[in-house]
Amino acid sequence: MLVAVALFWAVALVAQPWHTAIAAEPLRSITRFDGALVDHGARLAALGNCASCHTAQDGPPYAGGVPLTTPFGTIYGTNVTPDPETGIGNWSEAAFKRAMRKGIAQDGRFLYPAFPYDHFTHATNDDLNALYAFLMTRQPVQSRPPANQLYFPFTVRESVAVWNLLFLRNEPFRPDPAQGVEWNRGAYLVQSLGHCGSCHTPRNALGGEQRRAALQGGEAEGWYAPALDAQSPSPLPWTVGQLTDYLRTGIASDHAIAGGPMQEVVASLGQASAEDIRAIAVYVTALMASSPDGNQSRATATRRRAAQPLANILPAANDAQMRLGAAVYAESCAACHDQGRLSSSNSALQLPLAAAVYEPDPRNLIHIVREGISPVEGMPGRWMPAFGGSLTDEQLTALAIYLRRYAANASPWLHVEKVVKETKK
């Protein structure tokens, strides 16, 4: 162990030259920013959802303090308002760009990669200039986030040097000349400011994204972040239109209603540039499409199944759990979700189309049933009641097993009961 730690330090020290402070540049010396540039920056900040880590619940915008739970401890989002003492008010544009691209703060300290500079490193100069203009024109707020609570050796910031050596590819985005402008813009945004891979790519033991499994499905706050490539769980192929709608409103009638951490992302994406969101949809739908023929036959079969009332299927009478699941479905879900019983808002997902029942594990389904879906405060959106107070763990387990069998017609999930316990808040 001691040898490993020593080796770790040796590598850390040799791996990366020390970074020096970039001279503090008081905000007053910055004359003014062009309004159009600030607006562009605002849309990019929305696209990158900076606020999710840098704006605390009910706190002032971008003043930091959001706790992020990682396997390495808890890290608090920093204050990125132009306050000179506690924010980035003294940061020059060069210092800001170095932070975004290399994860080094203005004073030379290593920033922790909970800040996804491994994605932002690919951002263009133009986009970073705009983001800088946007942040520097925010209301300065004097506020120091709580101290991080990390485990050794991560308490020592230099340990990040090793991480950077392993996982930081400090290079600009390279467009694919074989693809169109929109595809390339989408690819650029997904890989850089959008940092989609932070959740949708699986991570290794050191918290680095598994490059070979890029966008093949990851995790966010106990939710499954679905695969965005050919492994996409949705039985109907996503179209550019449906994915654009989903990213801007959280609603895709043929696939999903955004829940969990994605809800907040969507609320932010709604403020981004419509063209940029469409470009992301163009790129991601292209990633998802692998064998159009196979997808087509699966889609037809799914549509046919979705046209049948789910509740009419009578599960084998001797399977008590399946019967319980069917009963829960019939009484608690079917009034809104079942074909032929559509009522009221006429808008609940037909469950044979719902991505959640096709995912590799039942986490998202259980989260949604238990917690319901309520729009982000102040935003419009779909509403589904939370059933956590009504359904017992046993009923929830039975429902998930039933839906996997009769809505998805897929092979049973393993350990549903365990997931029901683990996802409990």
Partner 1 sequence: MTAIVLYVNGQTRQVDVDPATPLLYVLRNELGMNGAKFGCGLGQCGACTVMLDGEASFSCLIPVEMAEGRTIKTVEGLGTTQQPGILQRAFIEEQAAQCGYCIAGMMMRAQALLERNSSPSDVEIRRHMAPNLCRCGTHMRILRAVRRAANRMHDV
C-beta of 258: minimal distance to partner 1 in Å?
18
- Any contact of residue 171 with partner 1 (CB under 8 A)? no
C-beta of 250: minimal distance to partner 1 in Å?
17
Binder of partner 1 out of 104, 277, 354, 391 (CB under 8 A): 391
Of 68 and 330, the one with the shorter C-beta distance to partner 1 is 330
Of 288 and 328, the one with the shorter C-beta distance to partner 1 is 328
Q: Is 32 helix (H, G, I), strand (E, B) or coil?
A: coil
C-beta of 372: minimal distance to partner 1 in Å?
8
Q: Which residues within the stretch 22-61 sit at the binding site for partner 1 (CB under 8 A)?
A: 58
Q: What is the dihedral of CA 364, 365, 370, 375, to 10 degrees?
A: 70
Of 50 and 326, the one with the shorter C-beta distance to partner 1 is 326
Binder of partner 1 out of 35, 300, 390, 415 (CB under 8 A): 390
Q: Which residues within the stretch 307-336 sit at the binding site for partner 1 (CB under 8 A)?
A: 327-328, 330-332, 335-336
Residue-wise over 22-34: b if at least 16 C-beta within 10 A, else e?
Answer: beebeeeebeebe
- Any contact of residue 360 with partner 1 (CB under 8 A)? no
C-beta of 354: minimal distance to partner 1 in Å?
18
Are the C-beta atoms of 95 and 19 separated by less than 8 Å? no
Binder of partner 1 out of 184, 364, 395, 423 (CB under 8 A): 395
CA distances in angstroms from 27 to 20, 30, 32, 137, 200, listed in the order given: 20, 5, 10, 10, 37
The residue written with tokens 């039975």 in the block is: 398
- Any contact of residue 346 with partner 1 (CB under 8 A)? no
CA dist., res. 214 & res. 228, Å (int):
9
Q: Which two tokens stand for residue 135?
A: 């942040």
Comparing CA positions, the residue from 349, 361, 339, 347 lying closest to residue 423 is 361
Binder of partner 1 out of 11, 111, 289, 386 (CB under 8 A): 386
Comparing CA positions, the residue from 99, 102, 111 lying closest to residue 150 is 111
C-beta of 369: minimal distance to partner 1 in Å?
12
Of 84 and 372, the one with the shorter C-beta distance to partner 1 is 372
Of 53 and 334, the one with the shorter C-beta distance to partner 1 is 334
CA dist., res. 95 & res. 84, Å (int):
14
Tell how far CA 334 is from the center of its chain. 30
Binder of partner 1 out of 344, 346, 378, 411 (CB under 8 A): 344
> What residue type is 208 in one-letter code?
G
Binding segment for partner 1 (CB under 8 A), chosen from 14-22, 93-101, 177-185, 384-392, is: 384-392
Tell me the site size for partner 1, rule CB under 8 A: 24
Strand partners, 114: none
C-beta of 83: minimal distance to partner 1 in Å?
25
- Any contact of residue 155 with partner 1 (CB under 8 A)? no
Q: Which two tokens stand for residue 244?
A: 């654009």
Residue 256 has phi, psi (to 5 degrees) of: -170, 160
C-beta of 283: minimal distance to partner 1 in Å?
36
C-beta of 68: minimal distance to partner 1 in Å?
22
CA angle 369, 357, 215 (to 5 degrees): 110
CA dist., res. 292 & res. 285, Å (int):
12
Binding segment for partner 1 (CB under 8 A), chosen from 203-211, 213-221, 233-241, 372-380, is: 372-380
Site string for partner 1, 107-136 (x = CB under 8 A): ------------------------------
Helices (H), 307-373: 320-328, 334-337, 363-371
Binder of partner 1 out of 36, 206, 392, 421 (CB under 8 A): 392
The contacts found for 379-386 with CB under 8 angstroms, 24 or more apart, are 379/267, 379/270, 381/249, 381/250, 381/251, 381/257, 381/258, 381/263, 382/250, 382/251, 382/257, 382/347, 384/257, 384/336, 384/348
Q: Which residues within the stretch 53-112 sit at the binding site for partner 1 (CB under 8 A)?
A: 58
Name the residues that contact partner 1, by CB under 8 A: 58, 327-328, 330-332, 335-336, 343-345, 372, 374, 377, 383, 385-392, 395
